[in-house]
């Protein structure tokens, strides 16, 4: 049966940003609820190993996710498995976070850390070999392909830039693109074309990720869209960069966003909707790393505490970088 619950702050999403925000709001003695539709961990659960989490030379994605969750629960944050459909600011200036089972969580502040979703190819083997050859993050996984042959799929800025980046590790990078021109910016294309380790496979689509007996990727089956000819690239990795969607569809009402749909915040991580904060991959910013997500989240959690204090005193907490302070 659908019920209504009240908290000081509701956090939507339990990736690194959500769990870190929960640690800080819990530590500030705020009644904290984290709503997550799957297992806590977010993109960490799509990452086999990390070698850029400062303090750990190498750590498995799921292991770091587990540590984050345990630590964030220490200070009292509650976790509920739920699929959030709507985050709505009411006329009274509080929020209703509503799930697909019609449960309603009321709170004066919400931190949205719902991340983003890389667009998938939707070909056989893609899901099966995710983390075993198939990747959506060059910075996270590139180093695991030292001296190997890999493919990159896509023809936008991300594919072209990351293909060039991946040659730091890989011996050979095939860029598989469905047309005969890239949509990527000229400068990125020129850099790519000048790279001797790169070979562009034009007018070609990926059709199947093929694995070996050990359950690791060993080849990518491809098809030329002009000739219909089918071929195989002997590669151990396939990086897919065909676009990324921030998970912002749950926010009811207009909020400021950039041209790609990522949420714009002030320096306190507050969105253009007062009391609604955002952290992690769905925020408009230069890069999307675990370290930047937890940095955003720390700021957002501390800002929420100040926001709630200012609200209870009927006052104003001011964004130090000048966005004008909180309307409470």
For ligand NAP, the closer CB: 79 or 241: 241
Decide if residue 238 touches ligand NAP (CB under 6 A).
no
Q: Map the footprint of ligand NAP across residues 78-117, applying CB under 6 A.
A: none
Smallest gap from Cβ 206 to ligand NAP, in A, equals 7
CB of 174 to ligand NAP, least distance (A): 14
| Beta strand residue intervals within 212-315, DSSP E | 217-224, 230-233, 237-240, 244-246, 276-278
Tokens 């700021």, located at residue: 299
Confirm whether 238 is a catalytic residue.
Answer: no
Taking residue 325's Cβ as centre, other Cβ atoms within 10 Å add up to 18
> Residues 109, 301, 21, 74: what is their CA dihedral angle, to the nearest 10 degrees?
-100
> Between residues 7 and 241, which has the closer beta carbon with respect to ligand NAP?
241
The smaller minimum CB distance to ligand NAP, of residues 131 and 243, is found at 243
Residue appearing with tokens 């509920």? 80
Span from 56-64, 85-93, 242-250, 280-288 in contact with ligand NAP (CB under 6 A):
242-250
Q: Which of 8, 52, 103, 137 is catalytic?
A: 137
Tell which positions 8-67 bind ligand NAP, by CB under 6 A: none
- Catalytic, 141? Answer yes
140 is catalytic: yes
Residue number with the shortest CB distance to ligand NAP? 156
Q: Does 179 bind ligand NAP (CB under 6 A)?
A: yes
Two tokens, residue 171: 């011996």
- Which of 87, 240 has the CB closer to ligand NAP? 240
Q: Which of residues 248-287 bind ligand NAP (CB under 6 A)?
A: 260
Cβ–Cβ contacts within 10 Å for residue 38, how many? 11
Is residue 159 at the binding interface for ligand NAP, with CB under 6 A as the rule? Answer: yes
**3 φψ region: left (φ > 0), alpha (ψ -120 to 50), beta (else):** beta
Residue 226 in the binding site for ligand NAP (CB under 6 A): no
The whole-angstrom separation of Cα 189 and Cα 291 is 29
The one catalytic residue in 141, 164, 281, 296 is 141
Q: Does 326 bind ligand NAP (CB under 6 A)?
A: no
How many residues touch ligand NAP under the rule CB under 6 A: the total is 18
The phi, psi pair for 190, rounded to 5°, reads -60, -40
Structure tokens at 179: 């047309």
Residue 161 engages ligand NAP in binding (rule: CB under 6 A):
yes
Chain positions 121 to 140 lying near ligand NAP, rule: CB under 6 A, are 121
Q: Is 201 in the site for ligand NAP (CB under 6 A)?
A: no
- 2, 104 Cβ separation under 8 angstroms: yes
DSSP-derived letter for residue 45 is G
Of the two residues 199 and 212, which places its CB atom closer to ligand NAP in the complex? 199
Nearest to 12 by CA among 288, 276, 258: 276
CA distances from 153 to 101, 122, 162 (A): 38, 12, 10
Give the strand pairing for 217-224 and 230-233: antiparallel
Decide the pairing of beta strands 84-89 and 95-99.
antiparallel
Positions annotated as catalytic residues are 137, 140-141
What residues line the site for ligand NAP (CB under 6 A)? Answer: 121, 153-159, 161, 178-179, 183, 205, 241-244, 260
């Amino acid at each position: 049966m659908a019920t209504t619950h009240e908290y000081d702050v509701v956090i939507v999403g339990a990736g690194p940003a959500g769990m870190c925000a929960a640690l800080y709001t819990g530590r500030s003695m705020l009644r904290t609820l984290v709503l997550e539709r799957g297992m806590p961990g977010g993109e960490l659960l799509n990452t086999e190993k990390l070698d850029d989490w400062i303090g750990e030379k190498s750590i498995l994605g799921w292991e770091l996710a587990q540590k984050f969750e345990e630590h964030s629960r220490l200070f009292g944050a509650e976790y509920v498995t739920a699929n959030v459909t709507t985050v709505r600011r009411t006329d009274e200036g509080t929020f209703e976070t509503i799930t697909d089972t019609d449960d309603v969580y009321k709170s004066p502040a919400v931190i949205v850390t719902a991340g983003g979703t890389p667009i998938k190819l939707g070909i056989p083997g893609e899901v099966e070999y995710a983390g075993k050859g198939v990747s959506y993050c060059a910075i996270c996984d590139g180093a695991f392909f030292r001296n190997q042959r890999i493919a990159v799929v896509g023809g936008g800025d991300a594919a072209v830039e990351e293909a060039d980046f991946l040659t730091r590790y890989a011996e050979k990078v095939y860029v598989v693109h469905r047309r005969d021109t890239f949509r990527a910016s000229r400068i990125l294309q020129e850099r790519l074309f000048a790279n001797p380790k790169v070979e562009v496979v034009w007018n070609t689509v990926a059709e199947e990720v093929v694995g070996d007996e050990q359950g690791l990727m060993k080849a990518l089956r491809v098809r030329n869209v002009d000739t219909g000819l089918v071929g195989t690239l002997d590669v151990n990795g396939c990086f897919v960069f065909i676009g990324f969607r921030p998970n912002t569809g749950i926010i009811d009402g207009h909020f400021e966003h950039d041209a790609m749909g990522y949420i714009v915040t002030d320096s306190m991580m507050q969105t253009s909707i007062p009391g609604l904060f955002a952290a992690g991959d769905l925020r408009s910013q230069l890069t999307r790393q675990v370290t930047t997500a937890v940095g955003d989240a720390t700021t957002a959690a501390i800002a929420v505490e100040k926001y709630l204090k200012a609200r209870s005193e009927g006052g104003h907490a001011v964004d130090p970088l000048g966005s004008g302070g909180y309307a409470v």
